[in-house]
Structure 1
Amino acid sequence: MSDTDGKKPLGLGAGPRSGSVKQSFSHGRTHAVVVETKRKRVVVPNPAKPGAGGSGSGSSHLGDPSKRPAGITDAEMQRRLDALRAAKAREQEDAAKRAAEEKEREEERQRRREEIEAKEREDRQRVAALRAKAEEEERLKREAEEEAKNRAAARKADILGTQRRQPASAAPAAKEADPAVPADRGAGQSRPRPGTEEAGAARPATATPRKTDRERENRETDRGAARRGDEGRRSGKLTLSAATSEEGGRQRSLAAMKRKQEKARQKAMGFGQKSEKQVRDVQLPETIVVSELANRMAERAADVVKSLMKMGMMVTMNQTIDADTAELVIGEFGHKAVRVSDADVEQVIDSVEDKAEDLITRPPVVTIMGHVDHGKTSLLDRIRKAQVATGEAGGITQHIGAYQVKAPNGQLISFLDTPGHAAFTSMRSRGAQVTDIVVLVVAADDAVMPQTVEAISHAKAAGVPIIVAINKIDKPSANPTKVRTDLLQHEIVVEAMSGDVQDVEVSAHTGQGIDELLEAISIQAEVLELTANPNRAARAAVIEAKLDVGRGPVATVLVQNGTLRKGDIFVVGEKWGKVRALVNDKGETVTEAGPSVPVEVLGLDGTPSAGDVLDVVSSEAQAREIATYREKASKDKRAAAGAATTLEQLMAKAKADKSVTELPVIVKADVQGSAEAIVQALEKIGNDEVRVRILHYGVGAITDSDVGLADASKAPILAFNVRANATARANSSQKGVEIRYYSIIYDLLDDIKKAASGLLKAEVREHFIGYAKVLEVFRITGVGNIAGCLVTEGVARRSAGVRLLRDNVVIHEGTLKTLKRYKDEVKEVISGQECGMAFERYEDIRQNDVIEIFEREEIQRTLD
């Protein structure tokens, strides 16, 4: 027995503890290892002693000082104990929190698991219900099909005679003999075949059938059926495969039997002869599609193609053939060909003369014309009680406007306001062509001007009467007598000077003479006796056209005859459309517009040209056909006009173009009339050396295609009252395309003139500045010949040009290489002094030669 038996081992309680660990190796080998675990010593305060746990006084010792580590004070010991207790409290709180979170997560997982299980259960139930419903529908459908097949089989058997009909007396006996046979046997079950035991049992012994042809056929059919057995009977509906199969045989249908009987009856009655072929007049244009030719002849397209193939033409029904070939085909089929031209498509437009009883009085159309800034729009604003002039850019009219006002006497008058700028000649001409009366506005303080004379010429060319309105009569400098006198030079004799032209002194500012002007217009309209027929297809003239962002292509038209209504189909120039809406000059939507009424028309497929005629047609096909023909004719006309007729002309044009500098531009405007006026004005800019080339012009906002064209041709874009959209602005900035915005036509034309003037070659002017005489020629090694000269006249400059004259003949022209006075290089030498000169790359200098000194000046040219 050892000394330690029954006693605790010596040492501190925190000493090492021994134990064994079992190690496992491969092949089942193990090994036990003795290990020691050293425990950390923890000092636990004694609560019984004062100060332990903080219950005693603060000056008492904490725990046994002998067991405390060296250097640890009571405060440090208390701090460590507080930290230990706080750590344990935190561990307990963290453990409680983790337990709560784990519990919540477990509950959430359980809830989600239950939701997923409930959803899967609902899906399984729904799928099962759908499967059961589909199976039930399939079963009902199958039963219905089987019942229909059985009925069809029984009905077919009765109709085709495949079953012998029982005598009427035998049917009740058969039912009594076999009560188990159902009453609707023929609908769902097969009947007993003739010749079988069941049929024999059902037939009475006393029933003797008559020997007829029908019975003999039935017996033969019965024998064939008996030989085939039950497999010979066809059940279910008749299909193509079943009818053509060799096993089931093929029998004639009820429809075929009826056709056969009908043919036999017609043959017996003498109606079997073939009817005589109808000869047709076939309209034949210059080109026609094969299928359309077949439709016009009322023949099969395959027959027409076959006829063409016999002629050696391998074509299809969608190909186009010429008129000569089509005429041969028409003759082969026995019809008559009637040649028509493509221009005949316009004959559908109604051009019938109106009857006198259908005509009624219409309002007059009055056009205001005159020079720029003579007060045309202001005068019209005074009449309409509007303020159009105040909203115009630059205070000038740059668009043609159409309005309708009511005079004090109740009469309606339609007014057209035309621009007075020189560039808008076409607008003034267009206004004079569609008008009944021209009001010539002349400023009393300015007299007759160039555009006034042009307006007089347009009015005379149109053959319309003129009423002279002498405006601005309220100004102190007004001189109406001078205006009347100046008009005599242009064959306008007013009533005040014993003429036949009415003249009225008016003031747009004060309103003086406005009523007299309206009365003069009414009197002139009564003299003209203006009438129109409102009950016919409308015809109107396009005053202006534009491309609106929200409404699309919009045309301002003046109805000349008939009534234009919403929903009418029309063709205008190379465009067509359907009236979607009509808007009057006040911005109100109307349903119809009669004669002399200006309206905006919406519903076009494109922007027409100003001055085109709008005609109402009966169908969209006619409108589309007319528009297509006009577009094709216009392209052919432009191609023919632009093509050179001979090689000499082509070479001359190329040579002329080679010496001409072009300024390419792209023009976009808000309305068609403004674009036309700008293009016409730009084409007049230039001379034999430079000109403006219009690459493209149109109406509407600037698009990506315009920017792409400008980038490819290095041309600026001139925007008149329009803007570029967002993508076009971005592309123009990225590609460096210049877009110039204008609202006044003066500024646009001035800028283009300046740009075109920059392309002109500068004019070089030569100024004589002096003469020098060669006295001696010196040869210097490494330099060349040096002329010793005496300046006899003017001055010799180093930077000037020189000419070498020998016997008054120019031998050389160039520049000086050096100009020296003694040994010094100088800039100039005055008259009477000697100097040395050397020419640049020229040394043939002789004594007594004369040197002419001159200077050149470049002067920049401008276009007039």
Structure 2
Amino acid sequence: MNVKTMQTLENLAQLHRAYRQLHSLAYYGKVRRAQWKPVLSSACPMCPIQLHPLFWQPGARLVQFRLLSTKERKKPDKEKLKPIKPKTQKQEVEIRIQMTVEELAKAMNKDIDHIYEALLNSSIDVNSLEPDYVLDEVWIKDVIKKSGMKARYAKLKEEKVKENKDAVKRPPADPAVLTSRPPVVTILGHVDHGKTTLLDSLRKSQVAAMEAGGITQHIGAFLVHLPSGEKITFLDTPGHAAFSAMRARGTNVTDIVVLVVAAEDGVQQQTVESIQHAKNAKVPIVLAINKCDKPKADPEQVKKQLLAHDIVCEEYGGEVQAVCISGLKGHNLEALAEAIVALAEVLEVKADYTGPVEGTIIESRTDKGKGPVTTAIIQRGTLKKGCILVAEKAWAKVRLIFDENGKPMEAATPGLPVEIVGWKEVPSAGMEILEVESEQRAREVVEWRTYVEEQEKAKKDLEVIELKQKEHKEAYSKEREDLLNLTWRKRKSVLKQRRNLTGNRPKERTDDGKNRLAIIIKGDVDGSVEAILDILETYDADEECELDVIHWGVGDVSENDIILAKTFNGIIYGFNVNANKFIHKLASQKKVKIKTHKIIYRLIEDLKEDLNGTLPPGVEEHVLGHASVLATFDVTVGKNKVPVAGCRVQKGYLDRKMNFKLVRNGEIIWSGSLTSLKHLKNDVLEIKTGMECGLSVDGDIAFQVGDEIVCFTEEKIKQKISWDPGF
């Protein structure tokens, strides 16, 4: 034996020792088998081990090896030397719960056309998609899967803490610089108790006649000049139940609340709610008992009813002034104005006329000629043209200022209601207005507020994602634990069944089988949209039809609204808004419904009808007659015996063409049609009250004496949802 042969045998011995050691480690789970599969190999002549060519050289070290199966050992060497292809790793794409088409294409390093192609066979109308269209999580994952990639939720990046550049109110002013201002008075009360009519009489206008349906549906801000020279700013808020948020907003900027109660109607639901709003805002109340000229008026009864709600008038030892008036005829309005002025003097209503402007937005809307417009109450400083204002995430360079009559103003002092024109976007009603020194500063404030909102939203999204991942992980761990507890034969059977299920699994449904109605809400002002959304919040999620508000906004119906409604197969509801001829033509082409209303409860009634229309028709039974079974017997028909019931009609009649059911001890045993109906030996179509008959039914039924036969018809009826919006 030469030296080379000895070295080879020595390497083989080392190899087998290493193999036994590595096989032992693999057996106890310390080494994965994937770590010792060969790349190129040849068979060992001594044992069924596949070896790397380096093993035959002196001083060779163990690289990779595995056991050869019997089938592999019989193969030619050429087939044994085939390389094993490494696994291809899928590209990971960082996603969020909602991404635009453009953002998704950028994350995948693809162009936008690739996204459109991946969505061709989905439920989305690809032709109507824009690059800034927001895709849902399901669609995002579907696009990534079709592209051969892997989705991964993006983690919230820890950015450097930005400097707080928000604008805030100034500290309270020095009492020495305060000057008297007109008091801001909010008129509250139940619907149709005469609030707007009272205000009309005070300012000699006809607002009530212009309101749709005779009810106020917006906050009206007016400055009233009294004969004594005093000025009072009045806020007229809607009394309807739908506008609770508007009333609350009115009390937050007011100094005094005038509670209007009809003398003939007394304290009602919105009256109690108005009292609660005033108490929450800690605002004093002046009681105006209206409609005292009516025959059934009883002011004393109203005062007694208010005692139950802690409103104690001066006549009963309290501090609330009560004035009996008639808003329609203008009786005793001077006394009401004097009571308001006297209370304002006691409260020492004053403001700082200097420095940056501070105020509150009462209402906001989009005007065709003026653009975004806000109705606001100035609370501090003097508003002038050219001022830079910030409200929420919108800012404005004031171009025009109008009073409540639409007349231009050069400046507005505290306590005055004004319309401000020059906003870049429509801010929400109820937001505070702050003046800043420059446009650059305004942009910084808006950017900071947008950044804060995005951070809060990202944190909420991350919490949702982490919760879902935790649930999936726990479910997977439990499934693995249950699997490991099985024997290897049962485990193999379970895995095989699972592969069969997942291999031919049908496309999963994205819904839960519920009927859905997608809607878009458009309103003339922010408060109207807010009121409608508050009503829709009362819709019960357990109803048979799911209500999905996919979009809402202020302004007329736009082309984007049509496209969005077409995508979700939805309906557009407009409140005090218009749609031009082009929009109506486009809606007709896209088969999108546009429904506009001037009165809010008409809009809700129309919505309820559409919700009812999504429900399947119900079935209503109409009983035609009852018969009792007196005897049972069998009749031979051909080679078969057919059970027959001898009956007497107790009530109504039996019609052979109609539906029948067999009732026994209060339970329905059978339902269907008759195969025969006979009177004596004659076949008949109808049996009336008091007559006897024999009948057989379609089915194998054993009749019993005392059973009841019921003849009935079925009628399809339209189902209705049980939602009660409150009016």
Q: Which residue of 1 aligns with 2:646?
A: 790
Select which of 165, 185, 191 maps to 1:345: 165
Q: 2:379 aligns with which of 560, 584, 590?
A: 560
Q: Within 2, Cα distance between the matches of 1:799 and 1:509?
A: 66
Counterpart CA distance in 2 for 1:730 and 1:622 is 44
Q: Give ranges in structure 1 of 5+ residues lacking alignment.
A: 1-320, 325-338
Alignment of 1:84-95 (within 5 A): none
Q: Which amino acid aligns with 1:664?
A: A
CA distance in 1, matches of 2:298, 2:708: 67
Q: 1:847 to 1:525 in 2, by over 3 A?
A: closer
Shift of 1:449: 1.3
Give the corresponding residue for 2:288.
469
Q: Does the CA contact (< 8 Å) of 1:670 and 1:721 recur in 2?
A: yes
Partner residue in 2 for 1:677: 531
Pairing 1:541–2:398 present: no
Question: What SS class does the counterpart of residue 519 from structure 1 fall into?
Answer: helix
Partner of 1:668: 522
SS at match of 2:673: strand
SS state at 1:515 partner: helix
**Aligned residue in 2 for 1:407:** 226
Corresponding residue to 2:447 among 619, 624, 628 = 628
- 1:759-838 to structure 2, matched below 5 A, reads 759-760=614-615, 762=618, 764=620, 769-772=626-629, 775-781=632-638, 786-792=642-648, 794=650, 795-803=653-661, 812-821=670-679, 822-828=681-687, 830=689, 833-838=692-697
Shift of 1:434: 0.8
2:342 is aligned to: 523
Per-residue CA deviations over 1:641-668 (Å, capped at 9, x if unaligned) read 79868559999xx999836533322221
Deviation of the 1:683 alpha carbon: 3.2
Corresponding residue number in structure 1 for 2:205: 386
- Are 2:336 and 1:482 equivalent residues in the alignment? no
Quote the residue 1:494 is aligned against: 313
Aligned equivalents of 1:718, 1:811: Cα separation in 2: 49
Structure 1 position 722 matched with structure 2 position 581: no
Q: Which residue of 2 aligns with 1:40?
A: none
1:438 corresponds, among 252, 257, 261, to: 257
In structure 1, what is the Cα distance between the partners aligned to 2:471 and 2:299?
56
Rate the CA distance shift 1:483–1:649 in 2: closer, same or farther, 3 A: farther
Q: Indicate which of 371, 380, 398 corresponds to 2:217.
A: 398
CA distance in 1, matches of 2:430, 2:590: 37
Q: Deviation at 1:360?
A: 2.0
* Cα offset, 1:779, TM superposition: 4.3
Deviation of the 1:857 alpha carbon: 6.0
Identity %: 39
1:26-45 equivalence runs, <5 A = none
Secondary structure at 1:423 match in 2: helix
1:791 to partner: Cα distance: 1.1
CA distance in 1, matches of 2:282, 2:194: 24
Q: Counterpart amino acid of 1:838?
A: V
Q: Does residue 747 of the first structure (1) align with residue 602 of the second (2)?
A: yes
Q: Which amino acid aligns with 1:814?
A: G
* Separation of aligned partners in 1, 2:418 and 2:659: 71
1:693 to 544, 548, 570: 548
CA deviation after TM superposition for structure 1 residue 711, in Å: 2.5
Q: TM-score, normalised by structure 1?
A: 0.56
Deviates more, 1:350-359 or 1:376-385: 350-359
Deviation at 1:493, TM superposition (A): 0.9
- Find the counterpart in structure 1 of residue 710 from structure 2: 853
The 2-side partners of 1:506 and 1:809 are apart by 66
- Partner deviation per Cα, 1:32-89 (whole Å, 9 max, x = no partner): xxxxxxxxxxxxxxxxxxxxxxxxxxxxxxxxxxxxxxxxxxxxxxxxxxxxxxxxxx
For 2:533 and 2:315, locate their aligned partners in 1 and report how far apart those are by CA, in whole Å.
41
Superposed displacement of residue 515, structure 1: 1.1
2 CA distance for matches of 1:860 and 1:663?
A: 17
The residue correspondences of 1:581-592 to structure 2 (distance < 5 A) are 581-592=400-411
Partner of 1:355: 174
Distance 1:691 1:499, change over 3 A: farther
For the 8 Å contact 2:629–2:705, the answer to whether it is kept is no
Distance 1:690 1:340, change over 3 A: same
Q: Which has the higher contact order (CA 8 A, sep 6+)?
A: 2
Q: Secondary structure at the match of 2:608?
A: helix
DSSP-derived class of the 1:543 partner: strand
Q: 1:369 to 1:818 in 2, by over 3 A?
A: same
Equivalent-residue separation in structure 2 for 1:624 and 1:444 (angstroms): 53
Question: RMSD in angstroms over aligned alpha carbons?
Answer: 3.3
Distance change (3 Å), C-alpha of 1:351 and 1:505: same
Q: What letter corresponds to residue 710 of structure 2 in structure 1?
A: I
SS in 2 for 1:354: coil
Q: Is the 8 A contact 2:397 2:422 kept in 1?
A: yes
> Secondary structure of 2:191's match?
coil
Query: Distance in 2 between the 1:426 and 1:354 partners?
Result: 30
Shift of 1:793: 5.2
- Which residue of structure 2 lines up, in the alignment, with residue 703 of structure 1? 558
Q: Using the alignment, how far apart are the partners of 1:807 and 1:470 within structure 2?
A: 64
State how far apart, in whole Å, the 2-side matches of 1:512 and 1:366 are.
20
- Residues 816, 600 of structure 1: alpha-carbon distance in 2 compared, 3 angstrom cutoff: same
C-alpha distance in structure 2 between counterparts of 1:431 and 1:696, whole Å: 26
Q: 1:130 matched to which residue of 2?
A: none
**SS of equivalent residue, structure 1 residue 658:** coil
Conserved 8 A contact 2:674-2:695: no
In structure 1, what residue type is equivalent to 2:279? Answer: K
Structure 1 residue matching 2:643: 3-state secondary structure = strand
- Summarize the Cα distance change of 1:844–1:511 in structure 2 as closer, same or farther, 3 Å threshold: closer
CA distance in structure 2 between the aligned counterparts of 1:378 and 1:399, rounded to whole angstroms: 15
* Counterparts of 2:513 and 2:621, CA distance in 1: 22
CA contact (8 A) 1:349 1:616 kept: no
| Mapping of residues 286-297 of structure 1, within 5 Å | none
Task: Measure the CA separation in 2 of the matches of 1:445 and 1:666.
Answer: 41
**Structure 1 residue 628 displacement after superposition:** 3.2
1:428-464 superposed Cα distances (whole Å, 9 cap, x missing partner): 0000111110001111121111111111110111100
Q: Which residue of 2 aligns with 1:732?
A: 587
Structure 2 residue identity aligned to 1:529:
E
1:205-244 matches, within 5 Å, as: none
Q: Distance in 1 between matches of 2:664 and 2:265?
A: 64
Residues 719 and 772 of structure 1: is their aligned pair in 2 closer, same or farther, counting only changes over 3 Å?
same
Does the residue aligned with 2:551 lie in a helix, a strand or coil? strand
1:442-495 per-position Cα deviation (integer Å, ceiling 9, x unaligned): 111211111111111101111000001111122222211111111112111111
Residue 599 of structure 1 and its aligned partner are, at CA, apart by: 0.8
- How many residues in Structure 1 have an aligned counterpart in Structure 2? 523
Larger radius of gyration: 1
Partners of 1:500 and 1:452 lie apart in 2 by 19
Q: Which letter maps to 1:617? A: V
Native 8 Å contact 2:185 2:232 kept in 1: yes
Alpha-carbon distance change, 832 to 427 in structure 1, aligned in 2, over 3 angstroms: same
The alignment partner of 2:341 has SS state of helix
Q: TM-score scaled to structure 2, two decimals?
A: 0.66
Higher helix proportion (structure 1 or 2): 1
Q: 1:453 aligns with which of 261, 272, 288?
A: 272
- The 1:793–1:691 alpha-carbon spacing in structure 2 relative to 1, beyond 3 Å, is same
Letter in 2 for 1:603: G
Which 5+ residue runs of structure 2 have no aligned equivalent? 1-155, 473-507
